[in-house]
A and B are shown apart, each in its own frame.
Chain A
Amino acid sequence: MLLVQDLKVYFVSDSTVARALDGVSYEVRTGETVCLVGESGCGKTVSALTILGILPQPPAQVRGGKVLFEGQNLLDLDEKELQKIRGNRIAMVFQEPMTSLNPVFTIGDQISEAIMIHEKGGEREIRKRCIKLLQDVGIPSPEERLKDYPHQLSGGQRQRAMIAMALACNPDVVIADEPTTALDVTIQAQILNLFRELKQKRRMSLLYITHDLGVVATIADRIYVMYAGVIVEQGDTAHIFHDPRHPYTQGLLASLPTRTKRGGALHTIPGTVPDPAYKPAGCPFHPRCQFAIDNCRSQFPGMCDYGEGHLSRCPVLYERARPPHGAA
């Protein structure tokens, strides 16, 4: 459905080149939920914005790679052609519903605008569709909510309205960038349930971007772990959580505070995420990695295959895991 291949996006200024995406590849298949997970600055949002062609260029420069949507490279399309896909076939939900909704238009205006850009239809019919959409995303008394302005809704309701807008044209792929990060836990649980429900009903694909591993565990079919502009591990949810093979993924999971870890000190990953303008040579994770060997400091590691689509960019752990006879 959606295939990102070896995408390279650099932010170029007079003095520095920040390699935000350094050859990122991932795939979203029909009807599946794929999570891009990583810490701030790892490039997960940049990759989503690149897919939709809404990354400000300059300062960003796409230096290579492809974004294939049903076989068509979105990076080759001009703005007009892109507009036919954006919002219509691929839609996006952002983190902050308050800043992505226009405060001076009603919810009804904004949803019908999303429909009218891509389709024709009478006012009555569009209104009906808006009401149906609001119902689908679980907003009570939708007729009245159409007349409301964004500030009259609560945070959770606003996010539901955003989702309704994204769904307005029955997109094939929805990209959700941290859609629950600004919400309270009980509201977050509602929105996650909503996504799950919608995905089943509409057979749409979901590319879900988040830093929260708990959310990932509950919603993902497959996971890509990103670090410093690189995919370091990918696999099914069960692989990533129960059998992580990259030191970064392992470190992230071990450093989550949970009450079962009470008493002992939490595992920590030393150091901080590297500045994308001054990334270390070799494996970007090596300065923080306990398994780093000389090779890691000079050579960019390749993906090691653990089978069943579980790949990890750490040859050191791969060598260790391999049985001595080389059977695997």
Chain B
Amino acid sequence: MARRKSSHTPVLTVKGLRKYFPVQRGFLQRVIGWIKAVDGVDFVIDRGKTLGLVGESGCGKSTIGRLILKLLQADEGRIMYQGRDISGLSEEEMRPLRKEMQIIFQDPYGSLNPRLTVGQSVEEGLRATGIKGHGERKTRVAHLLETVGIRPDAADFYPHQFSGGQRQRIGIARSLSVDPSLIICDEPVSALDVSIQSQIINLLKDLQHTLGLSYLFISHDLNVVGYLSDTVAVMYLGHIMEYAPAEVLYDNPLHPYTLALLSAIPDPESGEGHHVPALTGDVPTPFNPPPGCKFQGRCPLVEDRCRRREIALYTVNEGHTVRCWKVVGKR
């Protein structure tokens, strides 16, 4: 597949991305505060690579996906697709780019139109890309379904006639119909059973390999993210807390939050009850967070200065950054 830019330009570069949602109250809907959903996020996705975005609910990971697709308008920051700044583009100007960037959702049933046959759903995308001939579209649909492991003659069935895993495959086929180069996967396997989950994970890996796709893989499951991603960003309340190549992050995690997350995953490979001290407290709301480090309320290493001012991302090694001065020994 011919791609326009040289292989050195990252598929996606995000710089200083920010999105605050107003919280309104009362008859006049006065703004009483802000939810800092995404609060200055930077990352890069290289061609054919996967960035895993991991964090607990409310950390802003899904908002990032929607900001990139411009389903939500960012307050600040730059989104560069293949080296081109798309953050200021109008809806009209975005349209040709839409087919380059696709999204797969968690609930495939909610994202497929129940009144359209699977073939029609997949075909919609083809029509949007301007493939005119009816016959040609039909052949493409059959081919796409085959690519994701669905019998091509299933095109005439409706979504409810498929199982969850098959529906997710159809969702993937639909997003592939426009020949994208970047796919945002928003918890694509969270709703699936273990035996089906591994089928979809393998499918995503195979497609990446054969079609040269790049993924932004959003998930709360560190096991899945660790398995699939090349680079991992750990998010907490709108901030990236740690950013590193997957092997580095899992072998040498530095941020106390990353450590807590990793030790909280029940490990099926240990096979014995291992008792880990769990992180205390709840995930705080992103509504009017206190100044300073966002993790201060639950951090075992917290001290006074963490509460005073915001902490920068420190570079530990090439490609490994962490938002904590204690672990990098900064004064």
Contact = CB atoms under 8 A, between A and B. Distances in A.
Contacts of A39: 193-196
Interface string B177-220: 00000000000000001111111011001100000000000001
Contacts of B273: 196, 217-220, 237
A147 B271 CA distance: 41
A212 B227 contact: no
B5 interface: no
A196 B227 CA distance: 29
Contacts of B199: 268, 270
A43 interface: no
A186 B246 contact: no
Nearest to A180: B266
A189 B276 contact: yes
B227 A186 contact: no
A306 interface: no
Contact of B201 (A188, A220, A266): A266
A304 interface: no
A256 B198 contact: yes
Interface string A254-275: 0111111110011111101100
A261 B201 CA distance: 12
A257 B223 contact: yes
Given A185-B264, A217-B270, A262 B246 contact: yes
A157 interface: yes
Task: Specify which of B272, B278, B298 lies most central, judged by the most chain A CB atoms within 10 Å of its CB.
Answer: B278
Given A40-B193, A193-B278, A267 B271 contact: no
Interface string B109-128: 00000000000000000000
For A214, A216, A238, A257, the residue with the greatest tally of chain B CB atoms inside 10 Å of its CB is A257
Chain B interface category by residue count: 35 or more
Given A214-B265, A217-B267, A268-B198, A259 B283 contact: no
B194 A265 contact: no
B201 A238 contact: no
A156 B284 CA distance: 12
A132 to B, nearest CB: 21
A218 B193 contact: no
Contact of B266 (A218, A266, A267): A218
Contacts of A157: 282
B220 A185 contact: yes
Interface string A204-218: 000000011111111
Nearest to B162: A272
A258 B227 contact: yes
Nearest to A153: B282
Contacts of B57: 184
A273 B274 CA distance: 31
A185 B261 contact: yes
A211 B196 CA distance: 12
Contacts of A218: 266-267, 270, 273-275
Interface residues of A, number: 49
A154 B282 contact: yes
B145 interface: no
Given A185-B56, A272-B165, A252 B272 contact: no
A184 B165 contact: no
Contacts, number: 148
A265 B279 contact: no
B268 A214 contact: yes
Given A217-B267, A218-B273, A265-B205, A255 B56 contact: no
Interface in B259-316: 260-261, 263-276, 278-280, 282-283, 298
A311 to B, nearest CB: 18
Nearest to A188: B264
Contacts of B166: 272
A273 B166 CA distance: 12
Contacts of A185: 56, 220, 222, 261, 264-265
Given A251-B195, A268-B195, A268-B199, A217 B266 contact: yes
B271 A238 contact: yes
A184 B196 contact: no
A217 B193 CA distance: 17
Nearest to B196: A272
B198 A184 contact: no
Interface string A224-266: 0000000000000110011000000001110111111110011
B194 A252 contact: yes
Contacts of B228: 257
A257 B224 contact: yes
A213 B270 CA distance: 11
Contacts of B263: 189
A185 B55 CA distance: 9
Contact of B195 (A188, A242, A252): A252
B194 A255 contact: yes
B194 A256 contact: yes
Given A185-B220, A186-B283, A238 B272 contact: yes
A39 B195 CA distance: 8
B166 to A, nearest CB: 8
Nearest to A275: B163
A184 B56 contact: yes
Contacts of A40: 193
A258 B269 contact: yes
Contacts of B276: 189, 193
Contact of B268 (A187, A211, A253): A253
A257 B197 contact: yes
Given A214-B268, A216-B266, 5 more contacts: A156-B282, A184-B56, A255-B198, A268-B198, A268-B202
9 contacts: A40-B193, A184-B56, A188-B264, A189-B278, A190-B278, A193-B275, A218-B267, A258-B226, A259-B247
